[in-house]
């Protein structure tokens, strides 16, 4: 076991589960589908995509990230007070770790803490190191793995009697449809022990015009973020997507309460990806579905918790941008 001393930075453990082979396989599967073609949203976050998302989080139209941070800044002490020591912290999709600092600082008031960021993005783990390296009471051990693989690794390292605080911040749970979200939370719960805690971020329902603007900003940054997924395929899989032949498109499905991001082909075209051994033809106006983001009510979150053997003990809601941090305790 290779572990850095507190305050010295991040150690990346285990094998890398993201690879060009995984990327190629998932691109091939998504673009070969009959009917609606899809690409996995998790591949947005290469180095360029992560930088573009940082800009998105600053846009006036996109208030989600600021709401997430406000709640953590204001309520982190109350959140951690509900979990008895000793506590170890893990996070699914840590990003830069900037928001997590509030939770870790609150825990540092009572104990030294080990923090396990779980990411498929090596650049995100590197940024997490820069963000948290100066926290003397925190030892950061990163896993460049898929969520559940990383969580299993964390669970295998926990000490007897140690509680786990698992963070799933932002609105990533909203990228799952209702059934898949429940299945994912069920899988997470199976790894956790009774008394462990999950802090779950959920974007809440709001006026449609506000939701649409958040994913189709006036500066076109989200459009660039979406198109970068095709550019990444070009770079890493030797694709020949011509980005000028695609348009960023946002839809809201009121019945499903979800926003959808698509890339619309403006002409009939055939695209090849040599490293994915794939050629695909897109009709004019055919779309590639790249992301969904479901919006919740507070009552829905409580029901999700009950259905997956958690109990929702507290909810904190931002008043400027309807968003909630929900503390779920494993039963």
Cα distance between residue 241 and residue 271, in whole Å: 6
CB 68 within 8 A of CB 103: no
Q: How far apart are CA 252 and CA 41, in angstroms?
A: 17
Task: For residues 71 and 59, give the distance between their C-alpha atoms in angstroms, rounded to a whole number.
Answer: 19
The ranges assigned to domains in the chain are 10-16+60-206+296-330
List Cα–Cα distances, 191 to 100, 187, 188, 196, 302, in angstroms.
22, 7, 5, 10, 20
CA angle in degrees (0–180, nearest 5) for 8-103-182: 115
**Pick from 148, 212, 133: nearest CA to 185:** 148
Query: Could you give the CA distance from residue 45 to residue 48 in angstroms, rounded to a whole number?
Result: 7
Q: What's the pTM value of the predicted model, to 2 decimals? A: 0.90
pLDDT, residue 15, reads 34
- Picking from 291, 278, 286, 294, the residue whose alpha carbon sits closest to that of residue 36 is 286
Exposure on the CB side of residue 300, measured as CA atoms within 13 A: 19
Report the C-alpha gap between 200 and 183 in whole angstroms. Answer: 15
What backbone torsions phi and psi does residue 265 show, to the nearest 5 degrees? -75, 125
217 — phi, psi (to 5°)? -70, 160
pLDDT for the residue numbered 97: 84
Q: Are 75 and 316 in contact (CB under 8 A)?
A: yes
Cα–chain center distance at 305: 19
Q: What is the DSSP letter of 205?
A: P
Helix axes 20-31, 221-237, angle to 10 degrees: 110
Euclidean distance between CA atoms 269 and 271, whole angstroms: 7
Which token pair is 11?
């150690």
Domain 10-16+60-206+296-330 -> CATH class: alpha beta
3-class SS shares of the chain: helix, strand, coil, % to 5: 40, 30, 30
CA distance between the termini of the chain: 31
CA nearest 316: which of 65, 74, 101?
74
pLDDT tens for the chain, residues 1 to 331: 233 323 333 344 433 344 668 899 999 999 999 999 999 999 998 999 989 999 999 999 999 999 999 999 999 999 999 999 999 999 999 887 889 999 999 999 999 999 999 998 887 888 888 888 889 899 999 999 999 999 999 999 999 999 999 999 999 999 999 999 999 999 999 999 999 999 999 999 999 999 999 999 999 999 999 999 999 999 999 999 999 999 999 999 999 999 999 999 999 999 999 999 999 999 999 999 999 999 999 999 999 999 999 999 999 999 999 999 999 999 9
**Dist CA 275 CA 79 (whole Å):** 46
Q: How far apart are CA 98 and CA 141, in angstroms?
A: 16
């Amino acid at each position: 076991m290779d572990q850095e001393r507190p305050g010295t930075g991040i150690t990346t453990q285990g094998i890398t589960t993201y690879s060009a082979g995984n990327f190629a396989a998932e691109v091939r599967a998504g673009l070969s589908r009959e009917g609606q073609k899809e690409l996995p949203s998790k591949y947005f976050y290469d180095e360029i995509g992560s930088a573009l998302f940082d800009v998105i989080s600053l846009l006036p139209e996109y208030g989600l990230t600021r709401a997430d941070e406000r709640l953590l800044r204001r309520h982190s002490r109350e959140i951690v007070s509900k979990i008895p020591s000793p506590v170890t912290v893990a996070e699914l999709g840590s990003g830069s770790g900037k928001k997590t600092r509030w939770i870790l600082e609150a825990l540092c008031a009572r104990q030294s803490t080990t923090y396990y960021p779980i990411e498929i993005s090596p650049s995100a783990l590197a940024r997490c190191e820069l963000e948290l390296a100066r926290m003397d009471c925190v030892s950061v051990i990163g896993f460049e793995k898929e969520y559940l693989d990383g969580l299993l690794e964390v669970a295998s390292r926990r000490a007897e009697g140690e509680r786990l605080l698992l963070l799933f911040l932002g609105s990533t749970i909203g990228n799952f449809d209702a059934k898949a979200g429940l299945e994912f939370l069920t899988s997470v719960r199976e790894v956790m022990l009774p008394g462990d805690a999950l802090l779950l971020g959920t974007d809440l329902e709001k006026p449609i015009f506000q939701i649409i603007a958040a994913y189709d900003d006036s500066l076109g940054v989200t459009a660039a973020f979406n198109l970068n997924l095709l550019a990444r395929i070009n770079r890493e899989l030797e694709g020949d997507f011509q980005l000028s032949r695609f348009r960023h498109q946002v839809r809201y499905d009121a019945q499903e309460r979800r926003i959808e991001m698509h890339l619309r082909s403006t002409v009939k075209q055939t695209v090849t990806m040599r490293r994915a051994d794939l050629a695909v033809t897109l009709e004019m106006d055919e779309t590639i579905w790249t992301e969904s983001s479901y919006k919740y009510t507070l009552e829905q979150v409580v029901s999700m918790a009950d259905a997956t053997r958690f109990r929702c003990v507290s909810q904190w809601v931002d008043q400027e941008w309807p968003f909630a941090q929900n503390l779920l305790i494993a039963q």
